[in-house]
Amino acid sequence: MSSAKIGLVLASGSPRRRDLLEEFGYDFTVTKPEVEEVEDMSIPIRELTSHNARLKAEAVAKSSPESTVIAADTLVLLGDTVLSKPLDQEEASRMLDSLNGKSHQVFTAVTILNLSRDKEEDFTVTTDVHFKTLSPQEQAEYHQKINPMDKAGAYAAQEHGELIIDRIEGSMTNVIGLPMDEVREVLLKEFDISPDQ
């Protein structure tokens, strides 16, 4: 069954997640969830991202119970420190500097929900990202090329990522914000939804 016939909804304001679903051939609508995300960084990262993804999916599914809703939440873990989206340019610069020359993990939790079918699938994907060592000038130049404000960790792997990233171990689409291999598999196996190609 195609995604158009079933009513697939992306519960996200992220243009990157929208682009990924489009790239992979899905027909869907977008509804930005009106929710207050939990930002308590003392909560374990897997639990925090899962909670926020479910919160977003449920908020949109209530107004579209017949639809299959996809929501996701992405955070960066550097050692024991959780990095979300920076509040201002100064914090963005601090975040990028803290990642400089180090390895970190990107966690994306996904909830796929269809209320009318009483079906929910939740999963989390983790990817290891290894940063190059950059001079302060190179870091500043990178931030001039992107908008770091709406990105966990204040960087975008898909936007001039070659300037800052040495290597990625795992899913590149997970780092962008939606682990598409896993999303495709769950949509097909659990919800009978395939791309419209």
Enzyme catalytic residues: 73
* Collapsed DSSP state (helix, strand, coil) of residue 43: coil
DSSP state letters, 163-195: GTEEEEES-HHHHHT--HHHHHHHHHHHH--B-
Sequence-distant contacts of 46-50: CB under 8 A, at least 24 apart: 46/107, 46/109, 46/124, 48/73, 48/75, 48/82, 49/73, 49/74, 49/75, 49/107, 49/108, 49/109, 49/124, 50/109, 50/111, 50/122, 50/124
Tokens for 110, please give them.
């996904």
Tokens for 149, please give them.
């404000």
| CA 6/CA 66 separation, integer angstroms | 8
